[in-house]
């Protein structure tokens, strides 16, 4: 059996070293794959792992860089013009099963051209994948080829895809500042921005949940004895939190038939802020309108100093050091006592 069969197609040499399991294309190692099965699986796997957008950039980048190697190789052959090199490359690709590519309107001065691609291996893979839009490997590949041939950066614009029902794909090529590296960085920044947006949305959602939990847990209304309710104040009170407390407290006082509302200040910060002072004033006035008297308890020495050094006037409130004192006072005002 012949172990080194050879053949030539359109001037391109093919060979096989069956003892070593090698396929030779123009004397170099090559490999053959089935398009609609093996190559489709290869493309599907990359898209499954990386996602469609990232995969398109991978194919585009790979195609461009491979094409650049080819273009630079032919550019070094000074006796071959760009048009001749383009014809040789497309003919070579045709023999390798890359489909039929025809170069139109090649202008060396403006460094522009149009390529018609028909029945390429990428188109066949896209068909097997059930895609509705063509791929970016081959359009970018020829951008790399002509970047090498022209010695200037060339980019592309697909004006029609064969996959859309046209007879062939048509791609325009032109000088451009767009580079593969820029596209990679742009996608990376886009992914980072998307991740940041996702994290911001998650933080916002968790913040709302936490705020709702804090609102439910902080300053609960506690009916301690008949006619007496206690509301412990905790932390600092901004405008929103103060408003929520006032509304919730006043809405619930009638159902407890409260004669006395005891505000326990033990849990607030050592320095009473403007919002907290306003809260005490407003909730006291509002409670008095529905017949409930407000008592302040839990005023520590530090808090007392803070109050006296400020412009806050709490003289119209009955104030006690401890919650027990406040409860005993309220009971005595109702003519009762705790035995």
List the CATH number of the domain containing 83.
3.30.1380.20
339 occurs within a structural domain: no
| Whether residue 280 sits in one domain with residue 196 | no
Contact criterion met (CB below 8 Å) for 162 and 84: no
- The answer to whether position 338 is within a domain reads no
Query: Does the residue 24 lie in any domain?
Result: yes
How many residues make up the chain in this entry? 339
126 and 67 share one domain: yes
Q: Give the pLDDT confidence score for residue 208 in this predicted structure.
A: 77
Q: Give domain status of residue 232, yes or no.
A: yes
Per-residue pLDDT in tens (0 to 9) along the chain, 339 residues: 456 788 888 888 889 988 888 989 888 898 888 988 888 998 899 888 888 888 888 888 989 999 999 998 888 876 789 999 999 999 999 999 999 999 999 999 999 999 999 999 999 999 999 998 899 999 999 999 999 999 999 999 999 999 999 999 999 999 998 777 776 666 566 666 666 677 777 777 877 777 776 666 556 888 888 889 999 888 777 777 788 888 888 888 888 888 999 999 888 766 666 677 778 888 888 889 889 999 999 887 777 777 777 777 777 889 898 999 999 999 899 887 666
What is residue 338's predicted lDDT score, i.e. its pLDDT?
67
Last residue of a domain, one of 216, 235, 267: 216
Residue 4 placed within a domain: yes
Asked if residue 304 and residue 271 are part of one domain, the reply reads yes
113 and 48 in a common domain: yes
Same structural domain, 169 and 64? yes
The pLDDT value recorded for residue 271 is 65
Range of the domain at 160: 33-178
**Residue 243: exposure state from Cβ atoms within 10 A (0-12, 13-18, ≥19):** middle
Q: How far apart are alpha carbons 261 and 224 in whole angstroms?
A: 10
User: What total number of domains does the chain contain?
Assistant: 4
């Amino acid at each position: 059996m012949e172990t080194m069969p050879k053949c030539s197609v359109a001037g391109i040499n093919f060979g096989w070293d069956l003892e070593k399991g090698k396929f030779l294309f123009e004397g170099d190692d090559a490999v053959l794959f089935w398009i609609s099965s093996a190559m489709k699986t290869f493309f599907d796997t990359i898209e499954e792992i990386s996602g469609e957008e990232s995969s398109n950039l991978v194919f585009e980048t790979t195609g461009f860089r491979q094409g650049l190697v080819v273009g630079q190789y032919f550019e070094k052959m000074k006796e071959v013009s760009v048009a001749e090199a383009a014809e040789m490359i497309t003919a070579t690709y045709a023999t390798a099963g890359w489909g039929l590519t025809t170069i139109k309107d090649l202008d060396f001065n403006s460094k522009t051209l149009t390529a018609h691609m028909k029945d390429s291996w990428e188109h066949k893979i896209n068909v097997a994948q059930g895609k509705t839009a063509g791929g970016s490997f081959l359009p970018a590949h020829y951008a790399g080829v002509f970047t090498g041939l022209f010695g200037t950066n060339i980019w592309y614009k697909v004006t029609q895809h064969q996959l859309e029902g046209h007879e062939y794909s048509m791609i325009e090529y032109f000088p451009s500042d767009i580079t593969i590296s820029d596209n990679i960085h742009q996608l990376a920044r886009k992914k980072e921005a998307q991740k940041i947006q996702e994290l911001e949305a998650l933080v916002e959602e968790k913040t709302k949940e936490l705020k709702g939990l804090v609102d439910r847990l902080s300053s609960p209304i506690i009916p301690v004895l008949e006619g007496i309710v206690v509301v412990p104040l905790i932390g600092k009170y901004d405008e929103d939190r103060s408003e929520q407390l006032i509304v919730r407290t006043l809405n619930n006082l009638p159902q407890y038939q409260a004669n006395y509302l005891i505000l326990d200040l033990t849990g607030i910060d050592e320095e009473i802020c403007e919002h907290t002072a306003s809260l005490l004033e407003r909730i006291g006035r509002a409670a008095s309108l529905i017949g409930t008297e407000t008592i302040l308890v839990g005023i520590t020495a530090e808090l007392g100093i803070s109050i006296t050094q400020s412009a806050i006037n709490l003289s119209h409130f009955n104030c006690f050091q401890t919650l027990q004192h406040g409860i005993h006072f309220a009971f005595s005002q109702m003519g009762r006592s705790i035995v």
